[in-house]
Amino acid sequence: MQSQDFRVFVQARMSSARFPGKVLAPFRGRPIIDHVLSRIAQAVPSDRTIVATSTEPSDDPLAAYLNESGVSVFRGPLDDVLLRFQMCLEQFPCRWMVRVSADSPLLDSKMFARMLPYVERDDLDIVTNVFPRTFPKGNSLEMLRATTFAEIDSTSLRPELREHVTRLIYEEPSKYRILNIESEDGDRSHSSLCVDTIDDLQRLDALAEEQELAAAESISG
């Protein structure tokens, strides 16, 4: 696959109501956004990943951190996230864009291997694993055909549809060609691996430590 086939757009902002600044909050010694980008980099060359944040001053620290880290950044509207992604797509064109949330430090990089082969298909508008969801929250991936996404007129939509990039598609599924990827380990949609609160951060920190200990024991055993 060529670089123009797909890019990964990471949706990030600092102004979370429940946990302000969470994407730069420390998680196991590094900011949450670092973990998300590292997980993506296990499956995708880093030059294909762009963090899409806002032009608001509250996101200046995030943009500065990413620039210093050599990560590509796009800045657009805060609340009209759909338009932000469309503008990001104009600056970083590709045939398919993959949306990832920046609050998912334990994102399973193997999800990309299941999704990216579909870039060769011409009969799909979106490949997703949340319609219906069978993976834990925090392991969500959505890959959208760029031409389909670019044709959406965000100015004609109600605010909540502009705030959520793909909600329009799921509300009007008959208008779009949707392929859903399901978990091979049964329905795990009741679990959450994303960070919404400080309590989530502490819970996932303990979970990550358990996973590391289990992996170490597996290697030594």
Q: Measuring CA to CA, which residue among 138, 142, 124 is closest to residue 188?
A: 138
Under 8 Å between Cβ of 193 and 136: yes
Find all residues with CB under 8 Å of 2, minimum gap 6, and list them: none
The mean per-residue pLDDT over the stretch 128-146 comes to 98
- pLDDT number for residue 3: 53
pLDDT level of residue 221 (50, 70, 90 thresholds): low
Under 8 Å between Cβ of 52 and 76: yes
pLDDT level of residue 128 (50, 70, 90 thresholds): very high
Under 8 Å between Cβ of 178 and 126: yes
Domains in the chain with CATH codes: 3-220 (3.90.550.10)
Q: Give the residue, 208 or 1, on which the prediction is more confident.
A: 208
- pLDDT number for residue 50: 98
- pLDDT number for residue 1: 55
The structure's pTM equals 0.95
Sheet holding 142-145, edge to edge: 72-76, 49-54, 6-11, 96-101, 142-145, 126-128, 178-180
pLDDT for 218 beyond 90: no
